[in-house]
């Protein structure tokens, strides 16, 4: 069983590939040490736990879905994006140095018992449904639940 007292709570706000990598690495690091680790995916960060299909029903929802299309495989780094070139280059360097790709990092996190919490409000605003999220995530929740996790944790980060 994980040790809650020394846990880590991470708010994943960013939709950037490099920041998502950092977030998963921190969570995995904590879980590997036997600590509780929770990740709360909100705003653009929710992309990291989407399946990658187009989302949205309304005009705005579909536009947002189009801009935000693609799951964890399609997100670029926060710097030097160059219309996708940065993502490619960044991925090549990660590959060359045998750094675990984002999808595997996410799987490792889940295997180690890291809790992935989707933000209810973000799902509503961006018109993302439960079935648009990958399997194995926790039920959608709000700030209160996230804060409860943070209060139980020893360290909390907003990424």
The 10 Å Cβ neighbour count of residue 134 is 18
Of the pair 26, 133, the CB lying nearest a copy of itself is at 26
Residue 151 within binding range of a copy of itself, rule CB under 8 A: yes
Token duo for residue 100: 């675990």
Residues 106, 12 contacting (CB under 8 angstroms): no
Task: Work out which of 69, 94, 120, 141 binds a copy of itself, going by CB under 8 A.
Answer: 94
Structure-token pair, residue 140: 């959608």
Contacting range for a copy of itself; rule: CB under 8 A; set: 106-114, 132-140, 143-151 = 143-151
Site map 22..61 versus a copy of itself, x via CB under 8 A: x--xx-xxx-xx-x------xxx-------------x-xx
- List the one residue from 51, 65, 78, 128 that touches a copy of itself (CB under 8 A): 78
Q: How far apart are CA 51 and CA 147, in angstroms?
A: 26
Q: How far apart are CA 92 and CA 94, in angstroms?
A: 5
> Which residues bind to a copy of itself, rule: CB under 8 A?
6, 8-9, 11, 13, 15, 18-19, 22, 25-26, 28-30, 32-33, 35, 42-44, 58, 60-61, 63-64, 67, 78-80, 89, 92-94, 96-97, 99, 121, 124-126, 142-144, 146-147, 150-151, 153-159
């Amino acid at each position: 069983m994980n040790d809650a007292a020394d846990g880590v709570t991470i708010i994943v706000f960013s939709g950037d590939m490099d920041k998502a990598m950092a977030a998963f690495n921190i969570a995995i690091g904590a879980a590997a040490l036997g600590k509780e680790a929770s990740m709360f995916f909100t705003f653009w960060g929710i992309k990291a736990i989407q399946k990658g299909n187009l989302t949205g029903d309304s005009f705005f929802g579909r536009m947002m879905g189009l801009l935000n299309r693609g799951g964890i495989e399609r997100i670029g780094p926060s710097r030097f994006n160059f219309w996708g070139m940065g993502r490619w280059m960044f991925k090549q360097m990660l590959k060359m140095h045998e750094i675990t790709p984002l999808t595997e990092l996410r799987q490792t996190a889940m295997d180690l018992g890291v809790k992935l919490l989707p933000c209810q409000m973000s799902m509503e605003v961006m018109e993302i449904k439960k079935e648009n999220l990958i399997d194995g995530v926790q039920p959608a929740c709000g700030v209160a639940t996230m804060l409860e996790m943070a209060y139980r944790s020893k360290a909390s980060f907003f990424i």
